[in-house]
């Protein structure tokens, strides 16, 4: 009996060591005719050289992109290649993850017993028994929230429908990827998974959550290190997503909040000079800059990759 074909799509951008580990994790998972698609998003030469050691692996296909296409662009390249190769299932997976040995077989068992949909599973903070993702819901229409984050996971193998599935591990049969939904590339980073789930909802495609801890995500369990790059993209892209899907209650709520921030800057002693300094990235509070520039770029419809001084 032939095994089902599964295409796992990994993005690599200057973190090849993590990618190599993830490839080993995937190779240790039985149950499918697996092809691993690695899209290198314009990594530095030393990372390209390191990644080339996988070129002779029969189950690995590396696609070299000359520049960073972002999450959406990289995933689009991988999904298109997997479809062209006839993959029956396509799985978007972060390269900084570890996997249980039954990750693929558990997904296949669940997917084959339900109508076609998008699939996620329980994800642990690596090295702990605490939930990073245990199903997602959307607040105010477009803000993703992780259910039960930092809580010990309760896994019973059941399946339920949720609002949102994280792009850290997002699986779907081929028919879903051919249904007209697609990763929206202009976001560049973050909120692509929310947008995809909203597209699926509009088409009546279920978003399933498998209550089984199968993936371990190597992220910090503390909030001590805040990335203002992440903050900026989340603000800008959430606003754009809410407008794109006509989620006006959330859209107006956030616009009001961010406009208040800008007005507060204008009304300081320096007035408009203060606001100008903030937008020009001089020595200023990075949180305010991330929020204000996210709002401004949304209003000016400046999408794609952006570079500012606070993104450090």
The C-alpha atoms of residue 81 and residue 266 are separated, in whole angstroms, by: 50
The mean pLDDT of 49-74, rounded to a whole number, is 95
Q: pTM of this prediction?
A: 0.89
Cβ burial of 269 (10 Å; 0-12, 13-18, 19+) is exposed
The C-alpha atoms of residue 17 and residue 163 are separated, in whole angstroms, by: 33
The mean pLDDT of 28-57, rounded to a whole number, is 95
**pLDDT mean across residues, the chain:** 88
| Confidence band for 287, pLDDT divided at 50, 70 and 90 | confident
Domain boundaries, the chain: 5-217, 228-299
Query: What are residue 298's phi and psi, to 5 degrees?
Result: -65, -45
Out of 76-85, 170-179, 227-236, which region has the weakest mean confidence (pLDDT)? 227-236
Asked if 70 and 304 touch (Cβ cutoff 8 Å), the reply is yes
pLDDT tens digit string along 69-115? 999 999 999 999 999 999 999 999 999 999 999 999 999 999 999 99
What CATH architecture does domain 5-217 belong to? Alpha-Beta Complex (3.90)
What DSSP line would sit under the chain, residue for residue? -PPPEEEEEEEESS-HHHHHHHHHHHHT--SSEEEEEEEEES--HHHHHHHGGGTT-TTEEEEEESS--HHHHHHHHHHHHHHHTT-SEEEEE-TTEEE-TTHHHHHHHHHTTS-S-EEEEEEEETTSSBEEES-EEEETTTEEEETTTTSBP-----EEE-SB--TTEEEEEHHHHTTT----GGG-SSSHHHHHHHHHHHTT--EEEEEEEEEEE---SS-SS--HHHHHHHHHHHHHHHHHTT-HHHHHHHHHHHHHHHHHHHTSTTTHHHHHHHHTT-S--HHHHHHHHHHHHHHTT--S----TT--
State what percent of residues in the chain have pLDDT above 70: 85
The C-alpha atoms of residue 76 and residue 60 are separated, in whole angstroms, by: 17
Within 8 A by CB and 6+ apart from 10, the residues are: 19, 22, 23, 36, 37, 38, 39, 78, 93, 94, 95
| Confidence band for 262, pLDDT divided at 50, 70 and 90 | low
Residue 175 reports pLDDT greater than 60 = yes
């Amino acid at each position: 009996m032939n095994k089902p074909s599964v295409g796992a799509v990994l993005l690599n951008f200057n973190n090849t060591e993590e990618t190599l580990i993830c490839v080993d994790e995937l190779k240790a998972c039985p149950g499918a005719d697996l092809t691993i698609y690695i899209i290198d998003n314009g990594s530095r030469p030393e990372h390209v050289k390191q990644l080339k050691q996988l070129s002779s692996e029969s189950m690995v296909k590396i696609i070299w992109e000359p520049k960073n296409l972002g999450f959406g662009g990289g995933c689009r390249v991988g999904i298109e290649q997997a479809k062209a190769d006839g993959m029956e299932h396509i799985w978007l997976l972060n390269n900084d993850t570890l996997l249980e040995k039954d990750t693929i077989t558990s997904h296949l068992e669940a997917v084959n017993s339900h109508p076609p949909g998008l699939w996620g599973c329980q994800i642990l903070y690596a090295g702990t028994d605490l939930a990073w993702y245990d199903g997602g819901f959307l607040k105010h229409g477009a803000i993703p929230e992780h259910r039960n984050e930092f809580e010990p996971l309760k896994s019973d193998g059941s399946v339920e429908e949720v609002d949102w599935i994280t792009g850290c591990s997002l699986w779907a049969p081929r028919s879903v990827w051919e249904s007209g939904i697609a990763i929206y590339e202009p976001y560049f980073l973050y909120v692509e998974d929310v947008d995809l789930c909203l597209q699926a909802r509009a088409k009546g495609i279920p978003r399933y959550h498998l209550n089984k801890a199968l993936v371990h995500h190597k992220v910090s369990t503390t909030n001590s290190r805040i990335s203002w790059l992440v903050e900026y993209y989340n603000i800008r892209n959430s606003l754009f997503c809410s407008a794109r899907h006509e989620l006006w209650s959330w859209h107006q709520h956030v616009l009001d909040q961010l406009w208040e921030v800008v007005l507060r800057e204008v009304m300081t002693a320096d007035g408009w000079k203060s606001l100008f300094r903030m937008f020009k990235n001089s020595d200023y509070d990075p949180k305010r800059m991330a929020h204000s520039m996210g709002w401004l770029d949304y209003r000016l419809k400046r999408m794609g990759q952006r570079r500012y001084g606070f993104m450090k």
